């Protein structure tokens, strides 16, 4: 196993299942932080001349803890888990697609190299960006629906199907489910930075080590995600703004691009508005990415053991078949010679 990459030991679907499993477990544990960061990122500073907001828009949050307290007070503990089913479906599908295509493009790249060796940082980022772009195209409708569910008040709450119908009916038809696609494609730099940094930090901190200990995987995941979140927070805020309901001051007019969202936020809240919700975003990212990579590493190890066992079983079965064929040949041979 020494000297071999996991791409050579585990098929793409195995790496994808490992990544998706880790992502679902991690996001389920910290889902309330996802609700909080979404609520913080969609709220806009109101002017006296703006129409009076209603429903969930009428509540203003000043911090992570303030948001948790108010959500629980308004909706109970269940309010911290609004839209969780859709979110986890989105997490599972996005991460499965991402890790699958990341494994495929990375394997193709490594096999095309005449001189073996790990990809450079720039190549790692490029491979991650390609995988992320493919994953986003197929999974963004779930993200749009989940964002809407997370910003619905108690009396407005609907299931995934009904929320999707609302998006289709109230906006640009079916294309409304792909709202924010351009921002999402730009945001593929986030997982690209995350996993590119993860691979590079791994090679620097734990050179030549194929299987990491749980705390080592957690540390690398947390460090890499923190770097990616700080670098891309304005784009994350803009994407959430695109996918949520437009603020009351726009009279129901949706944003057309993430540049328009960023201009609106800067005009109303200043440049720091582009970093709102960064505390729960980083907290969530630290825990999720740490748990994700820790779980993914364990799952990959299980797959390696499983595939080795299956390979051994198949080898033994082939050997038994060969021995049986040889034994029958020995029995038949004397009869033929007679």
With respect to residue 336, please indicate whether it lies within any of the assigned structural domains.
Answer: no
* Token pair recorded at residue 113: 């190299």
Task: Flag whether 51 is in a domain.
Answer: yes
Task: Say how many domains are in the chain.
Answer: 1
- Chain center to CA of 145: 16
Q: What is the value of pTM for the model shown?
A: 0.58
What radius of gyration, in Å, describes the C-alpha atoms of the chain?
A: 25
Which CATH number fits the domain that encloses residue 22?
1.50.40.10
Classify residue 256 by its DSSP letter. Answer: S
pLDDT score at 2: 44
Q: Would 332 be classed as within a structural domain?
A: no
Tell me 81's DSSP state. Answer: G
Whether residue 285 lies inside any domain: the answer is yes
- Domain for residue 270, yes or no? yes
The answer to whether the CB of 180 falls within 8 A of the CB of 276 is no
| pLDDT (0 to 100) of residue 59 | 77
Start-to-end Cα distance in the chain: 51
Residue 329 lies in a domain: no
150 lies in which domain range? 6-313
Tell me, rounded to whole angstroms, the distance of Cα 154 from its chain centroid: 27
Q: CA dist 54 to 50, 134, 152, 264, 270, Å?
A: 12, 38, 11, 20, 24
Task: Locate 23 and state its tokens.
Answer: 């992502």
Q: How many residues does the chain have?
A: 338
CB-based contact 243:147 (threshold 8 Å): yes
Supply 331's token pair.
């029995």
**Is there a contact between 247 and 57 (Cβ–Cβ < 8 Å)?**
yes
pLDDT for position 334: 60
pLDDT beneath 70, residues of the chain: 1-9, 45-58, 154-155, 171-172, 329, 331-338
* Cα–Cα distance for residue pair 333/29, rounded to 1 Å: 67
265 in any annotated domain:
yes
Q: What is the pLDDT of residue 223?
A: 85
Give the span between the Cα atoms of 288 and 245, in whole angstroms: 26
The pLDDT, as a whole number, for residue 48 is: 58
So what's the pLDDT on residue 107? 82
Distance CA 65, CA 234 (A): 22
Helix/strand/coil for 84:
helix
Cβ 39 vs Cβ 244: under 8 Å: no
Measured between alpha carbons, how far is 254 from 256 in angstroms, rounded to an integer? 6
């Amino acid at each position: 196993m020494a000297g071999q990459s996991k791409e050579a030991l585990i098929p793409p679907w195995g790496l994808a299942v490992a990544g998706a499993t880790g992502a679902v477990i991690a996001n389920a544990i910290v889902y309330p932080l996802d609700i909080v960061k979404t609520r913080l990122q969609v709220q806009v500073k109101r002017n006296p001349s703006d129409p009076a907001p209603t429903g969930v828009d009428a509540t203003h949050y000043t911090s992570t803890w303030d948001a948790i307290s108010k959500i629980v007070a308004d909706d109970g503990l269940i309010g911290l888990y609004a839209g969780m089913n859709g979110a986890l479906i989105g997490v599972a599908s996005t991460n499965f697609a991402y890790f699958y295509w990341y494994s495929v493009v990375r394997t193709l790249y490594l096999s095309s190299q005449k001189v073996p060796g790990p990809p450079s940082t720039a190549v790692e980022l490029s491979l991650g960006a390609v995988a992320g772009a493919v994953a986003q195209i197929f999974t963004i409708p779930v993200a749009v629906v989940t964002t809407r569910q997370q910003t619905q008040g108690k009396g407005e709450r609907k299931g995934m199907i009904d929320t999707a119908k609302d998006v289709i009916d109230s906006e640009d038809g079916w294309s409304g489910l792909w709202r924010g696609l351009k921002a999402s494609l730009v945001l593929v730099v986030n997982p690209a930075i995350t996993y590119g940094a993860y691979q590079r930090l791994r090679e620097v901190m734990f050179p030549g080590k194929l299987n990491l200990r749980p705390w080592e995987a957690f540390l690398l995941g947390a460090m890499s995600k923190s770097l990616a979140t700080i670098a891309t927070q304005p784009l994350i805020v803009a994407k959430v703004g695109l996918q949520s309901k437009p603020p009351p001051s726009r009279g129901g007019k949706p944003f057309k691009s993430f540049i328009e969202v960023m201009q609106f936020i800067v005009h109303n809240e200043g440049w720091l508005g582009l970093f709102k919700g960064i505390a729960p975003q980083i907290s969530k990212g630290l825990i999720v990415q740490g748990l994700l990579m820790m779980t993914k590493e364990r799952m990959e190890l299980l797959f390696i053991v499983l595939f080795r066992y299956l390979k051994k079983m198949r080898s033994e079965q082939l050997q038994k078949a060969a021995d049986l064929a040889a034994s029958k040949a020995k029995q038949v041979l004397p009869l033929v010679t007679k």
